[in-house]
Amino acid sequence: MLVGNQTWEFKKKPVVISTGVTGGPFEAEGPLKNDFDKLFDDGWVEESTFEKAQQRLMEEAMEIAIQKSPIEKEQVNLFLSGDLINQITPSTFSAKTIDLPYLGLFNACATSAEGLALSAALIDGGFSDYIITGTSSHHAAAEKQFRYPNDYGAQNPPTSQWTVTGAGCVLLGKTGHGPTVTSATVGKIVDMGITDPFNMGGAMAPAAVETIQAHLQDRNLDSSYYDLIITGDLGKIGRETSFDLLNQQGVTLQDNQYVDCGMTIYSKDQPVQAGASGTACSAVVTYGHFLKRMIQGEFKKILMVATGALHSPLSILQKDSIPCIAHAVSIEME
């Protein structure tokens, strides 16, 4: 059901049946290492290329989610996924392996929330019973495509962020036991004219603010309704910027109520500059860490706000600014 201009409320409240989260060796050194279902000790993930490694991470995450669920793979109706690599090939090749009907998505690092919102809408509308949705990313593959290969040894500025090597997926169903997806707000493109591809957090922060405001307004909610508002990968700079903007515009948040996946997955002594990024960032942290804490009873209501910078290597070379977007999905325990 449409509420306001941008928000869908789900009457059937699709259920998070299970999740699957995988990561690489760098993620295994972080504070969330115990929240991963499987960690690889080699960045190649036993594959011959970084792109194939990313595909493997996604395939493993999907397999784990199905194994942890009470249903069989043949009962799953759809697989929705996307990533950062050209033509979303890791997602597409993973779809080939899992052999499920497939819809490919792209909203850069906001793809995790896009997939979750669309999956919930399809189940709520009666078009599917069970859907797997998720995203993946790989640090070396993303660096090679968007910046410089790691072997080049380029120095990144303090505003840059470290792409997560990992994959996170969720199995959503029409019935079951677990957290439920109650609503989703589809974001608008926000472009503040930033052209620096090493400052993704600063570029995406206004999009997060626009979507959070729209969500609260459409649902007629105060920010205190949520135990946590979780942004995707704004990092230190984007998180601070968006937090200040929200408070300036009347959305009052407590400091510990507003958290960022990009500042959660790695420890302070890991050399990630302003924090983490990548399509897998919000999926891995939300599905692996925050949902686990929700199931344990620590939180009852969270708002996942995944953020994405919708530029390409070509658009940056052509001096275009960076259009950004954010989508919000509310997850609640009954």
Instruction: Kindly list the domain boundaries of the chain, sorted by start residue.
Output: 2-173, 180-332
Token readout for 195 is: 């052209």
Task: Return the pLDDT at 149.
Answer: 65
Task: Return the pLDDT at 315.
Answer: 94
Top CATH class of 180-332 equals alpha beta
pLDDT, tens digit only, all 334 positions of the chain: 999 999 999 999 999 999 999 999 999 999 999 999 999 999 999 999 999 999 999 999 999 999 999 999 999 999 999 999 999 999 999 999 999 999 999 999 999 999 999 999 999 999 999 999 999 999 999 988 887 666 666 677 788 899 999 999 999 999 988 999 999 999 999 999 999 988 999 999 999 999 999 999 999 999 999 999 999 999 999 999 999 999 999 999 999 999 999 999 999 999 999 999 999 999 999 999 999 999 999 999 999 999 999 999 999 889 999 999 999 999 999 8
What is the rounded distance in angstroms from the CA atom of residue 62 to the CA atom of residue 21? 8
Q: Which fold has domain 2-173?
A: Peroxisomal Thiolase; Chain A, domain 1 (3.40.47)
What is the rounded distance in angstroms from the CA atom of residue 326 to the CA atom of residue 209? 9
Q: Tokens 């995707």 identify what position?
A: 232
The reply to whether domains 2-173 and 180-332 share a CATH topology is: yes
Task: Return the pLDDT at 146.
Answer: 84
Mark out the alpha helices in the chain (DSSP H runs).
Answer: 50-68, 89-98, 111-124, 139-146, 200-218, 235-248, 279-285, 291-295, 313-317
What is the rounded distance in angstroms from the CA atom of residue 179 to the CA atom of residue 71? 17
At position 277, the amino acid (one-letter code) is: S
Task: Return the pLDDT at 246.
Answer: 97
